[in-house]
């Protein structure tokens, strides 16, 4: 899939993985529409060329409104779902049992939000003309290695990301007849602003557990991998771990 001349739709685009991906796609010649919550967009650093749109990925109305912005002269071919939340709560703690509303909200944002964007964007992509190989577009979702090795306090997050992993092959098979590929990236520990807010000692401790390279992943490396998955036309239905061979310990 050629990136230049297309429109790319990136969720969670105001910071972290989404911001890095939006910038990488813009640099490769795509028109980028970035979705994020209003509160996140207000804090985002201005970046000429990326159109940030206030939207909740769990809202059908919000996502449809953002899709309506796509310029027909630059067809929507690329979607990268980066929006997500990562609460920490044990099933049982001194506060009592895990809050059902928190578990539900995590699934709503990470799983339902991903599926909502996938289903609505794929309808738009399916209406585009196909290339010589019958391809119309590619959708990349974001899981986590917590989908495989959820740590203590990650039960809601692990469940939500495990669902994203689980939908990958099914979505790729569903959308194959429309010429749309679906892949998922499962990052390990990425050096984002959220992690940095915990302090340098926490980051150093986490980095020490990575076999090699013994450091945290960088958002631009996620963006680089997303671009590879977009441009490599034979990668479909795959979940790619980006974790430096890390296998998470219980805590």
Beta bridge partners of 7: 31, 76
Do residues 120 and 58 make contact, with C-beta atoms less than 8 angstroms apart?
no
166-224 pLDDT per residue, tens: 999 999 999 999 999 999 999 999 998 767 765 777 678 888 899 999 999 999 999 99
Task: Measure Cα distances from 205 to 133, 208, 221 in Å.
Answer: 47, 5, 20
Greater model confidence, 82 or 201:
82
Indicate the pTM of the whole model: 0.95
- Strand pairing class (76-81; 239-242): unpaired
User: pLDDT value at position 98?
Assistant: 97
What interhelical angle do 113-126 and 60-67 show, nearest 10?
A: 30
User: pLDDT value at position 120?
Assistant: 98
User: pLDDT value at position 177?
Assistant: 98
121-177 pLDDT per residue, tens: 999 999 999 999 999 999 999 999 999 999 999 999 999 999 999 999 999 999 999
Distance between CA atoms of residues 206 and 46, nearest Å = 30
94-104 pLDDT per residue, tens: 999 999 999 99
Distance between CA atoms of residues 249 and 19, nearest Å = 29
23-51 pLDDT per residue, tens: 999 999 999 999 999 999 999 887 789 99
Q: What torsion, rounded to 10 degrees, do the Cα atoms 213, 214, 217, 222 define?
A: 20
User: pLDDT value at position 195?
Assistant: 73
Q: Is residue 251 very low, low, confident or very high in pLDDT (cuts 50, 70, 90)?
A: confident
- List 148, 157, 222, 234, catalytic entry: 157
54-71 pLDDT per residue, tens: 999 999 999 999 999 999
173 Cβ neighbours under 8 A, 6+ residues apart: 237
Do residues 239 and 183 make contact, with C-beta atoms less than 8 angstroms apart?
yes
* Matching residue, tokens 């002269």: 73
CATH assignment at residue 229: 3.40.50.720
Do residues 76 and 124 make contact, with C-beta atoms less than 8 angstroms apart?
yes
Do residues 206 and 216 make contact, with C-beta atoms less than 8 angstroms apart?
yes
Q: Is there a domain that residue 77 lies in?
A: yes
* Total domains, the chain: 1
Distance between CA atoms of residues 77 and 178, nearest Å = 12
Task: Measure Cα distances from 167 to 9, 119, 170 in Å.
Answer: 20, 12, 5
Task: Measure Cα distances from 89 to 35, 93, 152, 201 in Å.
Answer: 27, 8, 8, 22
Q: Is there a domain that residue 170 lies in?
A: yes
* Matching residue, tokens 């989404």: 18
Distance between CA atoms of residues 67 and 59, nearest Å = 12
Q: Is there a domain that residue 115 lies in?
A: yes
User: pLDDT value at position 200?
Assistant: 75
Q: Is residue 90 very low, low, confident or very high in pLDDT (cuts 50, 70, 90)?
A: very high
Active site residue 157: yes
User: pLDDT value at position 8?
Assistant: 98
Q: Is residue 249 very low, low, confident or very high in pLDDT (cuts 50, 70, 90)?
A: confident
User: pLDDT value at position 205?
Assistant: 80
Distance between CA atoms of residues 197 and 184, nearest Å = 27
Q: Is there a domain that residue 197 lies in?
A: no
User: pLDDT value at position 192?
Assistant: 85
Q: Is there a domain that residue 199 lies in?
A: no
Q: Is there a domain that residue 184 lies in?
A: yes
Instruction: Name the residue range of residue 153's domain.
Output: 7-190+219-240
Q: Could you say which DSSP state residue 177 is in?
A: G
Q: Is there a domain that residue 54 lies in?
A: yes
User: pLDDT value at position 198?
Assistant: 59
Q: Is there a domain that residue 250 lies in?
A: no
User: pLDDT value at position 197?
Assistant: 63
Distance between CA atoms of residues 3 and 12, nearest Å = 20
């Amino acid at each position: 899939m050629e990136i230049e001349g297309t429109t790319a739709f990136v969720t969670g685009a105001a910071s972290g993985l989404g911001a890095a991906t939006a910038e990488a796609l813009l640099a490769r010649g795509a028109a980028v529409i970035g979705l994020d919550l209003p509160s996140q967009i207000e804090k985002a650093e201005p970046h000429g060329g990326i159109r940030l749109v206030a939207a909740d990925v769990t809202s059908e109305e919000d996502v449809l409104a953002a899709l309506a912005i796509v310029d027909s002269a630059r067809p929507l071919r690329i979607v990268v779902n980066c929006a997500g939340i990562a609460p920490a709560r044990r099933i049982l703690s001194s506060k009592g049992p895990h809050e059902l509303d928190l578990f539900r909200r995590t699934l709503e944002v990470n799983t339902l939000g991903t599926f909502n964007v996938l289903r609505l964007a794929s309808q738009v992509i399916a209406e585009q003309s196909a290339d010589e190989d019958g391809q119309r577009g590619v959708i990349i979702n974001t899981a986590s290695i917590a989908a495989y090795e959820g740590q203590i306090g990650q039960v809601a997050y692990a469940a939500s990301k495990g669902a994203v992993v689980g939908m990958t092959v099914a979505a790729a098979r569903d959308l194959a007849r429309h010429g749309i590929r679906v892949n998922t990236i499962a990052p390990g520990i990425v050096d984002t602003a959220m992690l940095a807010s915990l302090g340098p000692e926490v980051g150093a401790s986490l980095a020490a557990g990575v076999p090699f390279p013994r450091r945290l992943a960088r958002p631009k490396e996620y963006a680089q991998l997303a671009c590879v998955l977009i441009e490599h036309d034979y990668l479909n239905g795959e979940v790619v771990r980006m974790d430096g061979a890390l296998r998470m310990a219980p805590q």
